[in-house]
Amino acid sequence: LKRITTQKQIILDFLRKSKIHPDADQVFLEVRKKLPRISKATVYRILDTFVDEKLIVAISGKKTRFDGNKIPHQHFLCTNCGLIVDIFDDETEKYLNKKKEIIKEGKAENFNLTFYGKCKKCRKKIIKK
Amino acid sequence: LKRITTQKQIILDFLRKSKIHPDADQVFLEVRKKLPRISKATVYRILDTFVDEKLIVAISGKKTRFDGNKIPHQHFLCTNCGLIVDIFDDETEKYLNKKKEIIKEGKAENFNLTFYGKCKKCRKKIIKK
DNA sequence: CTGCATGCAAATAGTTTGCAGTAGC
DNA sequence: GCTACTGCAAACTATTTGCATGCAG
């Protein structure tokens, strides 16, 4: 049995609105504006439970980042600056959901599709060099 | 300009053969059998350069794991035991390669598709509980 | 020879954990 | 009131870095 605490509400609220795919530290810094006494350990624990409950999605990398957008989608990750942009491609989503059902290696429950490359801003910067 | 060292050769050789998608520590332990004086720092540095050179692929997670299979493929990852199995689905590979070309958010160079779920062995174990 | 690569040890950084106090329900 | 949740500090673990030495080209 779970409890609804102020900390959880504020963190979920922030993640639902945010589009930057923040890491734990960014969540901590943001939430601390409203709850100055919150500790980083609490942030980590709450993020973990949200991922378990599938309220948010964890994006693995050097630092784990979190996505609170409820609509299933894919990602584009800039290998230069770390920017993560959401991609909403329904066709791909449907295609992979079908594939998911016929996987032999186990019972697939969900999937992650991420494209890697240089974002527009970084491409311009790199060309200048 | 890069140098071909014994350490690099043995690590790449191991990754090309391995099917367990080892983490840095597993690479270290395995390679140490042939090179008892190799250090973990060297393993990390070599793995990094191989990823940069696209000789191998890094699979992000709590620990980064490495895949030395040259054929493009997808993964199934067991959320219970951590097993990673390769999936060779040419159709999906072609489908996503086309999608890759029409991404607006940036110039996508490659992608990663991973399915998550419980592998066969873990499903049996969990049912017993 | 020349300087990139390595081994070692120490430092970092992200994340987890033990415990006493706090607050949902 | 019961007990899950939090804050704090300390612990942990993966990974990185500085530096003296080694070896590939």
A96 and chain B in contact, CB less than 8 A? yes
Which amino acid would we find at residue A104? K
Buried/exposed code over B98-113 (b: 16+ C-beta within 10 A; e: otherwise) = ebbeebebbbbeebbb
> Distance (Å, rounded) from C-alpha A17 to C-alpha A119?
22
Predicted local confidence at residue A1, as pLDDT: 75
SS3 B91: helix
Confidence band, pLDDT 50/70/90 cuts, at residue B128: low
CA dihedral B62, B68, B72, B75 (to 10 degrees): -30
Check whether B129 has a pLDDT greater than 60.
Answer: no
> DSSP string spanning B92-116?
HHHHHHHHHHT-SSEEEEEEEEEEE
Predicted local confidence at residue A125, as pLDDT: 81
Question: Residue for token digits 């049996």?
Answer: B124
Question: Residue for token digits 């066969």?
Answer: B120
* Cβ of A27 less than 7 A from strand D: no
Predicted local confidence at residue A128, as pLDDT: 57
The average pLDDT across B6-12 equals 98
Predicted local confidence at residue B71, as pLDDT: 98
Number of cross-chain residue pairs from A and B with Cβ atoms under 8 Å apart = 101
pLDDT digits (tens, 9 = 90+) for A65-79: 999 999 999 999 999
pLDDT digits (tens, 9 = 90+) for B11-65: 999 999 999 999 999 999 999 999 999 999 999 999 999 999 999 999 999 999 9
DSSP one-letter code for A23: B
Q: Which residues touch strand C (CB under 7 A)?
A: A 3-6, 23-25, 40-41, 44-45, 48, 62-64; B 1-3, 5, 7-8, 35, 37-42, 45-46, 62
Query: In sequence order, what are the beta bridge partners of A110?
Result: B116
- The ranges of chain A with pLDDT < 50 are 129
β-bridge pairing A84-87 and B84-87: unpaired
Smallest Cβ distance to A76: which of B61, B85, B108?
B108
In chain B, how many H helices and how many E strands? 5, 5
pLDDT digits (tens, 9 = 90+) for B56-111: 999 999 999 999 999 999 999 999 999 999 999 999 999 999 999 999 989 999 99
